[in-house]
Structures are given as structure tokens and as C-alpha cells.
Amino acid sequence: MSVAAATMSVTGASAAHAESPTQGCPYPYVCFYVDNDALLAGKPLSKYKDVTSGYQAVTPRPHYGVLNTRNDDVVYLRLQSGGSICLPPNSQTVFADAYSVNGIKISSSSTC
């Protein structure tokens, strides 16, 4: 199954900017949003910040977007339908269709 997602850089993600919240997601978090209204309003559904060797459980539900405010760490998103997505540092993804993410792994690697 292919995944349709658009990955975008977080604008102005300098070290000084990274300390202030972006779309309601403060540095160094990775935040999940359920729809565009929540993303624009800066109201994340959930947020994660711990680097782990395995996936942390995420309550499976349709997710609209994910924002990674971390400067040097990639994020792996495990999809309930199978497969995963790698999100680079200081970037976000907005899914063309709602995908259910059921796991997240924040890696100290700076590249996917």
C-alpha cells in the first residue's frame, strides 16, 4: 500500500525559533493533529519527546498531520495499515487521506 503524504520543512526553524511553540508544538516535541483546524489552531492531539530504540504506542485513530520540531532527530511513524514513514528534523507531514498511526519512534539519527 502506498502512502500519500506531503513533507514540508518547518519555516524559520533556527535555534532561537525552535524554542518557541510552533503550531502549538513546543521544541523538542513531535505532535499529532486530527484535522486541519486543529493544526491551524495549534491544538495537538498528543505529543512525544523521548528518543527510544523501539516504537512507542500511539492510540490508532485517523491522523491528519504530524509535526517534528526537533533539530537533529528523525521520527519514524508506524502505520496501522503496514509500513512506516520517516519524518526528517524540523519538518511536518500532512496526509492526503487520514492514516492511522499506531507507533512512533524518535531516533537520534539526523537523516532518514
pLDDT (tens digit per residue) in 52-67? 999 999 887 777 889 9
**Helix/strand/coil for 17:** helix
Residue 21: per-residue pLDDT: 56
pTM of the model: 0.78
User: SS in 3 state form for 19-53?
Assistant: CCCECCECCCCEEEECCHHHHHHCCCCEEECCECC
Cα(84)–Cα(17) distance, integer angstroms: 29
Q: Residue 12: is its pLDDT beyond 80?
A: no
Is residue 112 a contact partner of residue 103, using CB atoms and an 8 Å limit?
no
How many CA atoms are closer than 13 Å to the CA of 107, on its beta-carbon side? 14
Q: What confidence score (pLDDT) does residue 16 get?
A: 38
The radius of gyration of the chain's CA atoms, rounded to the nearest angstrom, is 13
Residues whose CB falls within 8 Å of the CB of residue 11, separated by 6 or more in sequence, listed in order = none
Q: For 57-99, write each residue's pLDDT tens digit.
A: 988 777 788 999 999 999 999 998 899 999 999 999 888 776 7
**Residue 109 pLDDT class (50, 70, 90 cuts):** very high
